[in-house]
Chains A and B, each alone.
Chain A
């Protein structure tokens, strides 16, 4: 069985400062990793994904994440945040590529941008 741990439920950051949202996973098989963003009362939007290849993955809105197999981590980073980045961020894992059997999500990290 897979599981995902997002270590921080809330992360407050000042505008234009860098941010890192942490994600660790556990799985007995090869995994595929995703970060989604959710704005209030909306569905989820894909930020980026790791399937294979380069361990540094670039996504939309200036976000990037690095897959670290030895540490079973997939932390999300942005060098300079904006007020509009305030949202809930979810890390998810699948062992079948597209998550044909469904994705396993972490509990989410609420990113709070302070002016």
Chain B
């Protein structure tokens, strides 16, 4: 099955710890994205990458970091500098020649 996988579905961490969220796609898409979703806030773009070894900040990149060492993978690290990390995180991908972003199932991060 082709698609986007995010793991784990639920993640709990203590305050002050860094945590890395996984996103993998086997759609052969060039571009990948990370969004954060908070209740009543819609989705906000954190980081995106249009090509391997390159990525750009989105609207709310502070306190987050990413890497794009492989085309299929775009992990997101939530650092201790992120002041309010508890949220639902969604990964998406798209082909550069297409007009549609495909979304993964999401990871719900809770920082205790």
Assess the A108–B42 pair: CB atoms within 8 A: yes
Stretch in A37-45, A63-71, A72-80 touching the partner: A37-45
Q: Contact check, A100 vs B31: say whether CB atoms are below 8 A apart.
A: yes
B90 at interface by CB-CB < 8 Å: yes
Identify the closest chain A residue to B29 (Cβ).
Answer: A98
Q: Tell me which of B11-19, B63-71, B73-81, B104-112 binds A.
A: B104-112
Chain B residues lying within 8 Å of A101, measured Cβ to Cβ, are: 48, 56
Q: Is A57 an interface residue (CB 8 A)?
A: no
The CA-CA distance from A51 to B56 in the complex, in Å, is 24
- B9 closest partner in A (C-beta): A41
**Is there contact, CB below 8 Å, between B42 and A43?**
no
B103-A44 in contact (CB<8A): yes
How far is B96's CA from A54's CA once the two chains are assembled, in angstroms?
24
Of A9, A41, A49, A102, the contact of B100 (CB 8 Å cutoff): A49
Complex interface residues of chain A between 73 and 100 (CB less than 8 A to chain B):
90, 92, 97-100
Tell me if B98 counts as interface (CB < 8 A to partner A): yes
Q: Which residue of A lies closest to B48 (CB)?
A: A102
| Contact residues on A (Cβ < 8 Å of other chain), bracket | 20 to 34
In the complex the two chains form, is A46's CB within 8 Å of B100's CB?
A: yes
Given A43-B104, A98-B99, the answer on whether A105 and B94 have CB atoms closer than 8 Å is no
Minimum CB–CB distance from B51 to chain A (whole Å) comes to 11
- Within the complex, the shortest CB–CB distance from B103 to chain A, in Å, comes to 4
Residues of B within 8 A of A (CB): 4, 6, 31, 33, 35, 40-45, 48, 50, 56, 58, 90, 92, 94-106, 108
Question: Residues of A with Cβ closer than 8 Å to B?
Answer: 4, 6, 9, 32, 34, 36, 41-46, 49, 51, 90, 92, 97-108
Top-4 shortest CB links A-B: A43-B103, A102-B45, A107-B42, A105-B42
Chain A to chain B contacts (Cβ below 8 Å), 9 pairs: A42-B105, A42-B106, A43-B105, A44-B90, A46-B101, A99-B99, A99-B101, A102-B33, A102-B35
